[in-house]
Chain A
Amino acid sequence: MLQPFVATPYVDAVLMLSDGTYFLGKGIGKKGTTEGEICFNTGITGYQETLTDPSYFGQIVVFTFPHIGNVGTNSEDNESDKIHCRGIVLRNTITTPSNFRSQLSFDHWLSNQKLVGISGVDTRQLTHHIRIHGPQWAIIVYAQAGECLSLEDVHRSIADKKIELTGDLAQYVTASSPYSWPKKSIQAGSGPAYKLVVIDYGVKHTILNLLAEEGFDITVMPSTVSFSDIMALSPDGVFLSNGPGDPSETGKTAVPVIQHLLDNTIPIFGICLGHQLLALAMGLSTEKMHAGHRGANQPVQEIATGNVFITSQNHGFCVSPKHIPSTVQITYRSLFDQSIEGFCVTNKPAFSVQFHPESSPGPHDTRFLFAAFKTMISTAKKVYA
């Protein structure tokens, strides 16, 4: 029997998991209730980028690093125009920021963005729990002072929900209509300005900026874009972005489009969800991971060279290693669990990676892939001309 608790200056919030595990703590951000799928991120820096990454749509993010908010927030480090995750869980309360670029304190920003969060949680114990028991639904209640909460009721409210958010999550975060990028002028690289269509399943700004730096002429299109709408722009290449959720759901509409693009030998580069969708289009399958990869220290090995790169990752699904067709060549593997981190199509100009070469947050080790994409387009023009 769970005891009710009264919000006091010591505890005024609770994080409850669907299996009944709960943590009392102090609320941060907006008062109220929020629900989402709980996941942990092991990155030390880059909380602002993480929270504004559309891939975190629907999730409650546990930061394993205990001090979050130290450097405040600024207008430059957003990866989209708002926070996409549903809640955050921290070890320590947020204190006054210090950084020469800081414009707004982190807790102010959270309140402005109406995010509910909880601090004072043993995030290490929670991370252990998620690692062992896998992903599950969770709720954060940030109570009013003096409010009396029945933990029993809080638990009952989510106990039956396994994962509430199903279906195509990209639809919630994608662009409502096509737009071109850069919005601001970014100094472009040399070489031809290839036309690029970015299919936005939840694209991060840094991806667009890095593509723009390569000199691409970019049009961002909604996730439900049709093959003909894409081809109407006669693109030199198509980029499949990152995004939230189960790839097989988003794939219901996306995969036929991608297969069409492949049939027409349009050069393709996919990242994260984009990678999983390309895999589905190639006849591979995807599966839910036990705890996912979320952090900025993930080693991947390039199979051709044996080189190791430290990458930023954020995914709860991965490409299954079963039934790999002969036209798919695995290019990268995770050195943590040997899962597939990238592949290329041997008879088409297409490749994708599970990790985030744009990083932000995270190491820049694999940013060369954006230039590699451009090279692939140039080569394709000669080979498939």
Chain B
Amino acid sequence: MPKRTDIHTILLIGAGPIIIGQACEFDYSGTQACTVLKNEGYRVVLVNSNPATIMTDPTLADCTYIEPITAEFLEKIIQKERPDALLPTVGGQTALNVAMALYTSGCLARYGVEMIGATPAAIEKAENRQKFNEAMKRIGLDVPNHAIVRSLDEAKRALSLIGLPAVVRPSFTLGGSGGGIAETEADFMRIVANGLDLSPTQEVLIDESIVGWKEYEMEVVRDKKDNVVIICSIENVDPMGIHTGDSMTVAPALTLTDKEYQVMRNASIAVLREIGVDTGGSNVQFAVNPATGRLIVIEMNPRVSRSSALASKATGYPIAKIAAKLAVGYTLDEILNDITRITPASFEPTIDYIVTKIPRFTFEKFPLSDSVLSTQMKSVGEAMSIGRSFAESLQKGFRSIEKGFSGLSQVLIEGTDPHQSYEANKPAIQKALKRPSHIRMLEIAQAMRMGCPVEDICEWTHFDPWMLEQMALILHVEKSLTENGIPRTKEAMWDVKKMGFSDARIAELAHTTEETIRHIRFELGIHPVFKKVDTCSAEFACETAYLYSTYEGNPYQVSACEAFPTNRNKVIILGGGPNRIGQGIEFDYACVHAAFSLKEEGIETIMINCNPETVSTDYDTSDKLYFEPLTAEDVIEVVLKEQENGSLLGVIVQFGGQTPLKLVKALQSAHIPILGTSPDKLDLAEDRERFKALLDRLQLTQPQNDICHRVSDLDATIQRLGYPVVIRPSNVLGGQAMAILLKASDLDRYILANRDILLDGPILVDKFLENATEIDVDALCDGTDVFVAGIMEHIEEAGVHSGDSACTLPTISLTPAQLQEVTHTTEMLAKEMGVVGLMNVQYAFQDNKLFIIEVNPRASRTVPFVAKATGNSIAKVAAKVMIGKKIRDFSFNKPRPTHYCVKEVVFPFGRFDNTDILLGPEMKSTGEVMGIDTTFEMAFYKAQESAGNPIPKKGCILVTVHDKDKPRILESVRCLASLGFAIAATKGTAQFLQKNGIEAVSVNKEKEGGDHLVDKILLREYQLVVNTSLGEDTAESFSLRRVALLNRIPYVTTARAFYAVVNAISKLNQDPEQMTTMPLQDWINRV
């Protein structure tokens, strides 16, 4: 049956900002859906607040609204665009929830919008725990014993039926947010109370604990004719009790017989039919009792998910693309399998390799938070690896996550002594393994090294013995490496490489360097071959170049390689690897644009990346995709292969964030050409001394700084510079342990808290620029000409990490002379540093004096934001410049548009207990949103709305600020008071306000007892919390911020952000109708 012709315009909803539980995978699915629907001739209207996505590129949809994903804004868009249909299944839980809200409010009916892909009834049945459980019973499937409660009393009663431990999950929250496993009754009541609060329906599900059971997922696709296919089975290596997003997983399932697999397959199909997902992809999760085989249905997602992105990459079957086609009426047999191009999409992929997914965590950013894994997702990204054996795939996976592991690396198990016997270490090992940490797999390996038997590990971790035996095999080879040293024969090297050992890991174990091992390996003629991901295990010929490396065959025969390098001119683009805080979707955006752009130039594009969530790892983004870890070894092997034929112009390292930059030295010493800014100039920006010399020569100013080699020198150094200072250890990643010190007592506290890290190496100290305005600039340079693409002004003052600051483009407070100075300086720096491609500079203005904070000759986090704000596709131009095009060959829109674009960020604080929400020099945000409007105030308002921190229009605000900030907030508070807001404040702030003629009610701090402010926040007495805090006072006000966060009371923590909020409120009060809802394409045309 052909596609539907009764619908013309389709509304697509994206997932909004990157948060834990919703990452790039929804850009991948949304981009696919957008492209498919447009190619099918539909008019696509897209709504997504996230500017860093590829899907929001103005060329993808017909109309792209970068607006808050709320029912209110969507109704405006629906009213304007009058779509015939709404596809809610490719934008994660966010899209599903807002679609349901539009349905419930009657908006969809009012405008005659049909929901396609999944009906409201099906969504309701899948998402509502009670309805879901009833549905499962109807089709004879088992679910855990359970109860649904809406109050603490009901919870108490339910507990007596279900018993402890019990699993608590609030309805309709993202990634299980607010859930947990309760071991004690006190735990139980606490988690339930929190869950009731977080659930938009005030509903919490309590389940029988099936912790320790095996967990499986099935990815299912169904069409309107009821044809159903299973795309992939996934087995969680971590057992039940750990959120599947935080679990290491393998595909396909490895420990099921056909009998059990088919039971699960039948159940998955029955679930889809019963829930009524008419078309598209769904995911069904199961738990299996490892002793009895009892099968339980855990949940199903009636939409594409993180797992479907993984399944798509694991098999080559593009679930989101197919789902979009099915939603408009095609059936599976009418769609061709893209990979083979000869077989239909109505089949089940079969694979001949093992896929491993390893999540990436950032607990180091939240050191006070408990790092134990649970049913609430905490990982911020993931890497996928492919190998022809579990061992190879696993070890590739560990080097893909970029946590400094070269494979099954050694870790320290707390409380153990390697010189002691296993029996002596057993209690400590047991304690460690029973606690599901984010490196449990490595701890297990460590336990095995200390002699821990597989049976004990099984009992403590509930890992499947098959996986553990495989690890034991790896360790067996490891032992022989340790004992025999460098493998010098072909046979010995082959044995090691076949088990997935990296050159780096072999070097560690054989006490030599990675380069030595590589040299020996090359001498022995041992290289991996590349095999294709082809959906069919080689049953059919396959045209698509989606490849992975493997050590195949034996030492005496060379195996077949399927890479077939062409004779074309080609460029290799290195991706950004797994998402993490500080390096996410923005870099994928840049890589994808590089691929698109060079394709336009007739160059063969080759992508290397290992992040399954991304658009860059879609097999049709570039001409060739190597799904490989981003390590020197793996990249060099791809390069060598591609250099066998045609001409490799070079490798692009400046688009994938820090990941590819770290490889520059290794690539350079392997004589691999780097495109764009030269390695020497890249080093210039990184090398403190060289950079300082350059700035001196250009007569540019940096904040005064120094370097300390001993902790004991710190005091003297800081005295010389004068407080306040920014301090950071030089050898840690991502700004960890970076802090602003205001006075000497701060230093003592800082040293106490970070002693271990500080002892590790030099410490950098910079004079902190107080009250300065920070400026971010993205520019393009071709070596001679410079195009300053965007000048952004931070909302928060200098001191807050640029990745955590809101910013506006165009700037709001800079004078034309200041803008001129910034532009001029940027041009000078770009030319002097020999930038070819993109460059980002961070400046600060303090008292009209310009300071250079940092220069990065590479794509920055703000590239997609600038591109969307100005309509200049700078990543694309940069890629072309890198292969020799000139900036004057291109025409650009004005870099300073007449409308305002505000970027705001979102934080994962809610996921990490004991974590303060104050902003500082260390980046903690996971994602960003953009607000666009004709005025700064309205753009800011929209950005706040999109970031989930909506600005109240009336009510009561709580103000409690640091002494320094009191004068700075005065006029803002006065303005709010005049707009009719009630003002409450803590004693000091209240007195200050009263003294200045503002009526403010004084409330007790928590420590003052009585009816204090934390209780009042809990009672939702305030619509906005304004709290700034510095230095030692922060501990005291911690609980107030935490409570505001967890209770979703909008908050601001800097005086400048407060100022912006108040301006927005005031503007809205003048004219509530002044917001402009307009597609990005129209905004850009105004530029």
**Which label, helix, strand, loop or mixed, suits the secondary structure of the B interface?**
loop
Chain A residues contacting B1074 (CB-CB under 8 Å) are none
CB atoms of B351 and A44 under 8 A apart: yes
A333: min CB distance to chain B, Å: 10
A99 touches B257 (CB 8 A): yes
On whether A64 and B290 interact (CB within 8 A), knowing A123-B352, A363-B265, the answer reads no
Q: Are A42 and B293 in contact (CB under 8 A)?
A: no
Picked from A24, A49, A127, A335, the residue with its CB within 8 Å of the CB of B347 is A335
A260 at the interface (CB under 8 A from B): no
Query: Which stretch of B166-174, B548-556, B971-979 is in the interface?
Result: B548-556
- Spot the interface stretch: B63-71, B150-158, B534-542: B534-542
Question: Does B341 make an interface contact (CB < 8 A)?
Answer: no
- Determine if A310 and B347 form an interchain contact, defined as CB atoms under 8 angstroms apart: yes
How many Å from the CB of B268 to the closest CB on chain A? 11
Count, A-B residue pairs, CB within 8 A? 185
Cβ of B701 within 8 Å of any chain A Cβ, yes or no, is no
Give the distance to chain B from A305, nearest Cβ to Cβ, in Å. 8
Q: Are B347 and A297 in contact (CB under 8 A)?
A: yes
- The A33-84 residues at the B interface (CB cut-off 8 A) are 40, 42-46, 48-49, 64-67, 70-71, 74, 76-77
Task: Name the contact of B491 in the complex, choosing from A10, A46, A77, A297 (C-beta under 8 A).
Answer: A10
CB-CB nearest in chain B for A69: B466
In the complex, whether B114 has a CB less than 8 A from a CB of chain A is no
Task: Find out whether the CB atom of B557 lies under 8 angstroms from the CB atom of A124.
Answer: no
Measured CA separation A88–B138 after assembly (Å): 43
Are A23 and B473 in touch, CB under 8 angstroms?
Answer: no
The B318-362 residues at the A interface (CB cut-off 8 A) are 331-333, 343-344, 346-354
Pairwise interchain contact B352-A65, C-beta atoms closer than 8 A = yes
Docked-complex contact B346 and A49, CB < 8 angstroms: no
Instruction: Decide yes or no whether B733 CB sits under 8 A from chain A.
Output: no
Asked whether A11 is an interface residue with its Cβ less than 8 Å from the other chain, the reply is yes
- With A71-B257, A122-B552, A297-B348 already in contact, the answer to whether A100 and B290 are too (CB < 8 A) is yes
- The reply on B696 being an interface residue by CB < 8 A is no
Q: Is A120 an interface residue (CB 8 A)?
A: yes
Most chain B CB within 10 A, of A100, A123, A301, A361, is at A100
CB closest residue in chain B, given A63: B352
Contact residues in B for A91 (Cβ distance below 8 Å): 352, 388-389
Whether the Cβ atoms of A96 and B554 lie closer than 8 Å is no
Residues of A contacting B353 with CB < 8 Å? Answer: 66
Q: How many A residues touch B, CB cutoff 8 Å?
A: 61
Cα A48 to Cα B388 with chains together (Å): 21
Chain A positions 161 through 172: 1 when the CB is less than 8 Å from some CB of chain B, otherwise 0:
000000000000
Give CA–CA (A65, B252) in the complex, Å.
10
Q: A306 at interface (Cβ–Cβ under 8 A)?
A: yes
User: Contact between A45 and B494 (Cβ–Cβ < 8 Å)?
Assistant: no
Interface string of A288-330 (1 = CB under 8 A from B): 0001000111110100001110100000000000000000000
Q: How far is the CA of A11 from the CA of B536 in the complex (A)?
A: 29
Report the separation of the CA atoms of residues A133 and B466 in the bound assembly, to the nearest whole angstrom.
36
Q: Does A136 lie at the interface of the complex (its beta carbon under 8 Å from any beta carbon of B)?
A: no
In the bound assembly, the distance between CA atoms of A124 and B562 in angstroms comes to 10
Q: Which of B227, B261, B553, B555 contacts A307 (CB 8 A)?
A: B227
At the interface, yes or no: A359 with Cβ under 8 Å from chain B?
A: yes
Given the known inter-chain contacts A306-B225, A359-B262, please indicate yes or no for A42 contacting B531, CB distance below 8 A: no
Check if B537 sits within 8 Å of A65, measured CB to CB.
Answer: yes
Contact A98–B537 (Cβ < 8 Å): no
Task: Identify which of B348, B388, B464 contacts A363 (C-beta below 8 A).
Answer: B348
Task: Give every chain B residue within 8 A of A49 (Cβ-Cβ).
Answer: 258
> What does the 1/0 interface line of A214-238 toward B look like (CB < 8 Å)?
0000000000000000000000000
- Chain B positions within 8 Å of A70 at CB level: 254-255, 466
Residues of B within 8 A of A296 (CB): 258, 348, 350
Decide if B645 is an interface residue (CB 8 Å cutoff). Answer: no
Residue B495, interface by CB 8 Å? yes
Task: Please measure, in the bound complex, the distance between the C-alpha atom of A310 and the C-alpha atom of B473, giving whole angstroms.
Answer: 36
Compute how far the CA of A291 lies from the CA of B332 in the bound complex, rounded to whole angstroms: 25
**Which single residue of chain A is at the shortest CB-CB distance from B265?**
A363
A95 surroundings in chain B (CB, below 8 A): 466, 469-470, 473
- The binding surface of chain A is classed by DSSP as loop
Interface string of B274-296 (1 = CB under 8 A from A): 00000000000000001111000
Contact A67 B556 (CB under 8 A): no
Return chain A residues, CB-CB under 8 Å to B556. 5, 11, 24
A296 to B350, CA, bound (A): 8
Bound state CA distance, A122 and B262, in angstroms?
Answer: 28
Chain B residue numbers with a CB within 8 Å of A18 are: none
Q: Closest CB of chain A to B160's CB: distance in Å?
A: 31
A187 CB, nearest partner CB in chain B, Å: 16
- B229 CB–A CB distance under 8 Å: yes
Residues of A within 8 A of B731 (CB): none
Which among B254, B352, B469 is the interface contact of A64 at CB below 8 angstroms? B352
Confirm or deny: B226 has a beta carbon within 8 angstroms of a beta carbon on chain A: yes
Shortest distance between the CB of B23 and any CB in chain A (Å): 28
User: Within the assembled complex, what's the spacing in Å between the Cα atoms of A298 and B292?
Assistant: 31
Contact yes or no, B255 A98, CB < 8 A: yes
Which A99-128 residues sit within 8 Å CB-CB of chain B?
A: 99-101, 120-125, 127-128
0/1 per residue, A125-159, Cβ < 8 Å to B?
A: 10110010000000000000000000000000000
Q: Mark B399-427, 1 if CB is under 8 A from A, else 0.
A: 00000000000000000000000000000
Asked if A97 is at the interface of the complex by the 8 Å CB criterion, the answer is yes
Chain A CB count within 10 A is highest, among B258, B332, B350, B351, for B258
Chain A residue numbers with a CB within 8 Å of B346 are 299, 301, 308, 335
When distances are taken between beta carbons in the complex, the residues of chain B under 8 Å from A299 are 229, 333, 344, 346-348
A74 and B293 alpha carbons, distance in the complex (Å) = 15
Given A100-B293, A310-B229, CB of A10 within 8 Å of CB of B554: yes
Contacts of B225 in A (CB 8 A): 306-308
Alpha-carbon distance between A312 and B11 when the two chains are bound, in angstroms: 40
Q: Which residues of B contact A123 (CB under 8 A)?
A: 352
- Interface flag for B846 (CB, 8 Å): no
From residue 58 to 97 of chain B, which have CB atoms closer than 8 A to chain A?
A: none
A120's closest neighbor in chain B, by CB? B554
Smallest CB–CB gap between B42 and chain A, Å?
A: 24
Q: Is the CB of B262 within 8 A of A298?
A: no
Is residue B256 within 8 Å, beta carbon to beta carbon, of the partner chain? yes
Closest to A22 in B: B557
**In the complex the two chains form, is B557's CB within 8 Å of A306's CB?**
no
Contact A96 B257 (CB under 8 A): no
Chain B 554-584, CB within 8 Å of chain A: the 1/0 string? Answer: 1111011000000000000000000000000
Across the interface, which residues of A come within 8 angstroms of B466, CB to CB?
70, 95-98
A362 at interface, CB cutoff 8 A: yes
B367 interface hit (Cβ, 8 Å)? no
Residue of A nearest to B536 (CB): A42
Does the CB pair B347–A77 fall under 8 Å? no
Q: A77-B257, A99-B255, A335-B347 are in contact. List 7 more A-B contacts (CB 8 A).
A: A40-B538, A74-B257, A100-B291, A127-B352, A298-B347, A306-B225, A308-B229
List residues of A whose CB falls within 8 A of some B CB: 5, 8, 10-11, 23-25, 40, 42-46, 48-49, 64-67, 70-71, 74, 76-77, 91-92, 95-101, 120-125, 127-128, 131, 291, 295-299, 301, 306-308, 310, 335-336, 359-364
**Complex A-B, nearest 6 residue pairs according to Cβ-Cβ distance, in ascending order:** A46-B258, A98-B466, A361-B258, A64-B537, A297-B348, A45-B258
23 contacts between A and B (CB under 8 A): A10-B555, A24-B557, A25-B554, A42-B536, A44-B261, A48-B257, A74-B257, A91-B352, A91-B389, A98-B464, A99-B257, A100-B291, A120-B554, A124-B538, A125-B553, A299-B229, A299-B333, A306-B225, A306-B333, A308-B331, A362-B258, A364-B262, A364-B265
Which residues of B pack against A, CB within 8 Å? Answer: 225-227, 229-230, 252, 254-262, 265-266, 290-293, 331-333, 343-344, 346-354, 388-390, 464-466, 469-470, 473, 491, 494-495, 531, 536-541, 552-557, 559-560
